[in-house]
Amino acid sequence: MDEIAGLIEPHVPALRRYAWALLRDEAGADDLVQDCLERSLSRWHLRRDGGDLRAWLFTILHNLFIDGMRRRRREGLRVDIDEIVDLAAPAQEPESRLVVRDVLDAVESLPADQRAVLLLVCVEDLSYEAAARVLGVPIGTVMSRLSRARERLRRLVTAPPPPVLRRVK
């Protein structure tokens, strides 16, 4: 196997996980990862030797994600009603996984910058410094986004269920 592929491939599962957790869309996430890998190959010669490859790959992925979000915002959201319903109600929901499912849904409802920090630190195990580099923000910002994200998560999972909407005439 060639050397560059050997260096990058071990990171692909984590990149897919991060992309999927950000987008919650199977094909969209793999598109994002594919773009990220293509870009890392075309930029390979610009990579700093001895730099953190994992953080570098996550930086590329994250920039592409932000770029995609900006573009979608510019083009206006084009989401089907069906898709929204799909996202809110995953097909598989056995009782035992109820809490777990709530966590992911709760994470999804966080603002994108908080979601990214939480996933990079808690799931991808990046150090605060590496996460700061990936997101292009100071470490202090990483810390404060993280504690805001957690505060919000706590509130979401401990909050009583929303009241049933009633029609008022």
Partner 1 sequence: MNRSDLPVGEDDLTAHVDGRLPPERWDAVATYLRANPETEERLALDRSLRDALRERLRSKAEEPVPARLRVALMRADRRRSWRQTLAYAAAASMFLAVGAAGGWFARDFTGGPRPTAGRAWAGLARDALSAHRTFSVEITHPVEVKASEEEHLSRWLSKRLKRRLVIPDLSDQFGLELVGGRLLPAGPDVAALLMYADGSGNRLTLYVRCGETGQTALNFMREGEVSTFAWIDDGVGYVVAAAMDRERLQKVARAVSQEFDMEAVRSRRAL
Residues lying near partner 1 in the complex (CB under 8 A) are found at 1-2, 4-5, 8-9, 12-14, 16-17, 20-21, 30-31, 33-35, 37-39, 41-43, 45-46, 63-64, 67, 71, 99-101, 103-104, 107, 118, 121-123, 127-128, 140, 143-144, 146-147, 150, 153-154, 157-158
Given the complex with partner 1, which of 84 and 123 has the nearer CB atom?
Answer: 123
To the nearest whole angstrom, how small is the minimum distance from the Cβ of residue 33 to partner 1?
6
Given the complex with partner 1, which of 86 and 136 has the nearer CB atom?
Answer: 136
d(CA 96, CA 98): 6
Given the complex with partner 1, which of 42 and 160 has the nearer CB atom?
Answer: 42
Extract the runs of DSSP E, i.e. beta strands, from 24-138.
Answer: none
d(CA 65, CA 68): 5
The two structure tokens encoding residue 71: 């573009």
Given the complex with partner 1, which of 31 and 52 has the nearer CB atom?
Answer: 31
To the nearest whole angstrom, how small is the minimum distance from the Cβ of residue 80 to partner 1?
21
To the nearest whole angstrom, how small is the minimum distance from the Cβ of residue 54 to partner 1?
13
Which helix (H) or strand (E) covers residue 71, if one does? Answer: helix 53-75
Under 8 Å between Cβ of 48 and 91: no
Contacts of 98 (CB under 8 A, 6+ apart): none
d(CA 147, CA 28): 29
To the nearest whole angstrom, how small is the minimum distance from the Cβ of residue 67 to partner 1?
6
To the nearest whole angstrom, how small is the minimum distance from the Cβ of residue 71 to partner 1?
8
Under 8 Å between Cβ of 40 and 8: yes
